[in-house]
Structure 1
Amino acid sequence: MTLFCGLDFGTSNSTIARLDPGGVPHLLKLEAGRETIPSVIFFGFEDDMIRFGREAVAEYVSGAEGRLMRSLKSVLGTSLIGDTTRVKARSYGFVEILGIFIAELKRRAEDELGGVVEQVVCGRPVHFVDDDVAADRAAQEQLAGAVRAQGFRHVEFQFEPIAAALDYERQVTAERLALIVDLGGGTSDFSVVRVSPERARAADRSGDILSTAGVHIGGTDFDRLLSMAKIMPELGLGTMTRDGKRHLPVAPYYDLSTWHRINRLYNAQTLRDLRGTRNEARAPERVELMMELIEDRLGHRLVGAVEAAKIALSDVDRTRFEFAVRDQSITTEMTVADLTEALRNSVERIAGAIGETLRRAGVGAEAIDSLILTGGSTQVPVIADGLRKLFPDAELVRTDVLGSVGLGLALDAKRKFG
């Protein structure tokens, strides 16, 4: 039996959805009975096993030796797509790594469905790459190639915020003008869409999409910005050389705060450069701590701890951050005010993209009936508060923040393949 499905390959989490016999979409259980799987791969050096999702993270956190790969989607359309990462004696290209993860998703979906999945609608952000049409086109082609290589014979794409609108539309009883705000791990996408029970039955919805826009900002960027603001100074960022003539180089701190760049630090040349920086630094002990962290390959674990602190600040006003490195500890306090300040420029860019989306649709904020929030980053306080201020009169609709896109993609797959 040949099947079709919707595939939401996300920067942070992925889902696959399928319609049941009654035409209702549902998410498949991809990992230990759960409907989401973190977009993470761990190549184990000790047993040569490849692990995925939560199992990959758990193996890494346990201290097992290996290579953790996360934020895989972020490399699409960038110069990093041509890079390789070394796993013991073998080098893997990023496209190959994408394929390994997608192949595992396909295998798990087929195990649950009991059939071969050959037709798929994949979600894509409005912009893989900002302000670069050629790079954006290349990103979709790279993803399409990786998906086809795993045995999907027919591959179509749908904008992720449009998929979220298709999911939301199942519950409306009258026509609404909706703004879909999809803040994921790597991108922030916005769409103004007309939805209604009558429109839901139409095969072609292109006329109901009044506008789309997006920026390449998401949860992993928020993690990086918080890390650069609060953690990297503990390792020397912003401090001066001993002669007081210049600040220490920023590049290694940026890389250490960015999931898909951390592996670039794990080489002898980086440590040689940091030894030179340490010898020139006014606070050499901070750079020494950074060197120890890199020698022990703790970079991904550090950013994971920063992400956990960011999530904690959705529920509390302040949190204490502690991260052990050998016999020392990176210790600081983070507050909602710190997070708000770190994200200030990102919030402005998001507001600007929303304004552009409204302008393209030819409507004002007062015309929006429903504000549909999807994607985990909509739960960050400064983001949620800002959206509420922009649309004080709109109905606030919180979808399944990690599942609504996949569900909408399954509905779209029915239109395209059913």
Structure 2
Amino acid sequence: MRTVIGGIDFGTSNSTVGLAQDERAGLVPLEGDETTLPSAIFFSFDGDRARFGREAITNYADGVEGRLMRALKSVLGSSLVNEKTRIQKRSMAFIDIVGLFIAELKRRTEAFAEAPFESAVLGRPVHFVDDDAHADRKAQDELEKAARAQGFTDIAFQYEPIAAALDYEQAVRGEETVLIVDMGGGTSDFSIVRVSPERARAADRKDDILANRGVHIGGTDFDRLVSIAHVMPELGYLTPTKDGKRNLPAGYFIDLATWHRINLLYTPKAMNDLRQIRFEAARPDLVERMITIVDHRLGHALAGTVEQAKIALTDADETVIAMPYDIATPRLTRRDFDQTIAQAVQRVAATVSATIEDAGLSAGDITAVFLTGGSTAIPAARQAILQLVPQARVVDGDRFGSVGMGLALEARRKFG
């Protein structure tokens, strides 16, 4: 029986699948004509059916009764991965929900290819978890276990920025030393790789990889920072207790601002705690707003408005963060946004500098910068990186497809 081989880019915000095709690779249309599938699952309470991608987000936005899960990749390597969340009358571990999404990627690929899809290279960030080798290895093992449970028999891993380098190499005509920048929803990863048409034919590329680094900062972190700074104060964050001796506990506000922790608020215990916080608050009216948002399961909708504001500031100088009910709508300028994410951007830039140093190169030795991942569109992040290598040629790749294409090329090398 004919089978297909390919690569899976399971992303924090979006996922793609690439299939090896002769000497090149192509992306699978996963949702209509779209080659990206938002990494989202919606569990409808009407018939207990799971919906995926844009359909999941649309169902949630339309007010269909159910539970939305996003940023699933962020639970890998964390204490959340084996915890269970309540979905109507049953409980599911987060790792099993990850498995459901991978199963859907496999199902849609097989429907497109009309053949079994059992051999895959899975993309992974340079670090699932910063500064914790054990947790990082655990995260990869969890992802492999989830994939095998869905019927994948041959599994390999490749760093996502290396996969992007393999995609970029398809278009080069001579020898280059390229800085690969892959800034996605959950991580920012960097590699310095020697590429050329001749090197592309080599079976072993280990010596061409000069350096690899990553940091657990991405688009969802920028969302969280904006929400904490500009939205959560409207819900009582950092306001004092009525005795004036301390500020209200921050934990639930941080959860509401963090994509993969929002569902933790939808429990009886969390609601009871919020009511106690309201009782202790000097501004109970603000905490009441928080309670209303949680009670109506509007956490993901609120995070979505923050994300849209971030995206709007890619081109605009000012935007608004749409708030539910009668809550004041914060205005957010590009300058506000840049200041809010400044420390995170500085960590990203420092990681790029360290990657160049690890390679034993100077900035002038980098001939090109290849940019992929949705967060490379953020002006402050993009500028901070590019000013480190001012002489390099800048190449914008497919922000959401380069890694999946490169993983397919790697799959052909490993399994073809």
User: Does 1:145 pair with 2:145?
Assistant: yes
The SS at the match of 2:46 is coil
Using the TM superposition, give the Cα deviation of residue 279 of structure 1 relative to its aligned residue in structure 2, in angstroms.
2.0
Distance in 2 between the 1:67 and 1:410 partners?
A: 33
Distance in 2 between the 1:381 and 1:148 partners?
A: 39
User: Does 1:331 pair with 2:345?
Assistant: no
Residues 161 and 182 of structure 2 are in contact (CA less than 8 Å); yes or no, is this contact kept in structure 1? yes
Match of 1:15 in 2: 16
Distance in 1 between the 2:47 and 2:315 partners?
A: 39
User: Does 1:409 pair with 2:407?
Assistant: yes
User: Does 1:399 pair with 2:397?
Assistant: yes
Residues 163 and 403 of structure 2 are in contact (CA less than 8 Å); yes or no, is this contact kept in structure 1? yes
Match of 1:305 in 2: 305
After superposition, the C-alpha distances for 1:72-104 in whole angstroms (9 at most, x for unaligned) are: 110001111111111111111111111111111
Aligned-pair RMSD on alpha carbons?
1.0
Match of 2:342 in 1: 344
Listed as ranges, the gaps of 5+ residues in structure 2 are none
Using the TM superposition, give the Cα deviation of residue 330 of structure 1 relative to its aligned residue in structure 2, in angstroms.
4.0
Match of 2:178 in 1: 178
Distance in 1 between the 2:298 and 2:159 partners?
A: 35
User: Does 1:366 pair with 2:364?
Assistant: yes
Distance in 1 between the 2:320 and 2:218 partners?
A: 24
After superposition, the C-alpha distances for 1:227-266 in whole angstroms (9 at most, x for unaligned) are: 0011001111121122221111111110000111111111
Amino acid at match of 1:372: F
Distance in 2 between the 1:47 and 1:344 partners?
A: 45
The SS at the match of 2:387 is helix
The SS at the match of 1:331 is coil
Q: How does 1:158-197 map to 2 (within 5 A)?
A: 158-197=158-197
Amino acid at match of 2:18: A
- Number of positions where the alignment pairs a residue of Structure 1 with one of Structure 2: 415
Amino acid at match of 2:8: L
Match of 1:5 in 2: 6
Amino acid at match of 1:161: P
Match of 1:231 in 2: 231
Amino acid at match of 1:193: V
Find runs of 4+ consecutive structure 1 residues off by over 3 angstroms. none
User: Does 1:49 pair with 2:39?
Assistant: no
Amino acid at match of 2:407: L
Distance in 2 between the 1:267 and 1:144 partners?
A: 30
Distance in 1 between the 2:382 and 2:354 partners?
A: 19
Amino acid at match of 1:382: A
Distance in 2 between the 1:19 and 1:330 partners?
A: 51
Match of 2:284 in 1: 284
The SS at the match of 2:31 is coil
The SS at the match of 1:58 is helix
Match of 1:254 in 2: 254
Distance in 1 between the 2:244 and 2:201 partners?
A: 68
Amino acid at match of 1:190: F
Q: TM-score, normalised by structure 2?
A: 0.98
Residues 353 and 388 of structure 2 are in contact (CA less than 8 Å); yes or no, is this contact kept in structure 1? no
Amino acid at match of 1:337: R
Percent identity, please: 54
Match of 2:72 in 1: 72
User: Does 1:129 pair with 2:132?
Assistant: no
Distance in 2 between the 1:288 and 1:48 partners?
A: 31
Distance in 2 between the 1:321 and 1:104 partners?
A: 33
Distance in 2 between the 1:85 and 1:324 partners?
A: 25
Match of 2:155 in 1: 155
Distance in 2 between the 1:158 and 1:189 partners?
A: 12
Amino acid at match of 2:347: R
Q: How does 1:85-124 map to 2 (within 5 A)?
A: 85-124=85-124
The SS at the match of 1:322 is coil
User: Does 1:244 pair with 2:244?
Assistant: yes
Using the TM superposition, give the Cα deviation of residue 108 of structure 1 relative to its aligned residue in structure 2, in angstroms.
0.5
Listed as ranges, the gaps of 5+ residues in structure 1 are none
Q: Out of 387-396 and 369-378, give the one that drifted further.
A: 387-396
User: Does 1:316 pair with 2:313?
Assistant: no
Using the TM superposition, give the Cα deviation of residue 292 of structure 1 relative to its aligned residue in structure 2, in angstroms.
0.6
Q: How does 1:378-393 map to 2 (within 5 A)?
A: 378-393=376-391
Residues 352 and 385 of structure 2 are in contact (CA less than 8 Å); yes or no, is this contact kept in structure 1? no
Q: TM-score, normalised by structure 1?
A: 0.98
The SS at the match of 2:6 is strand
Using the TM superposition, give the Cα deviation of residue 162 of structure 1 relative to its aligned residue in structure 2, in angstroms.
0.2
Using the TM superposition, give the Cα deviation of residue 336 of structure 1 relative to its aligned residue in structure 2, in angstroms.
0.8
Distance in 1 between the 2:244 and 2:323 partners?
A: 29
Amino acid at match of 1:336: R
After superposition, the C-alpha distances for 1:300-331 in whole angstroms (9 at most, x for unaligned) are: 11001100110000010000222223xx2341
The SS at the match of 2:80 is helix
Distance in 2 between the 1:94 and 1:58 partners?
A: 22
Amino acid at match of 1:376: G
The SS at the match of 2:329 is strand
The SS at the match of 1:80 is coil
Distance in 2 between the 1:385 and 1:355 partners?
A: 14
Match of 1:34 in 2: 34
Distance in 1 between the 2:350 and 2:331 partners?
A: 31
The SS at the match of 2:322 is strand
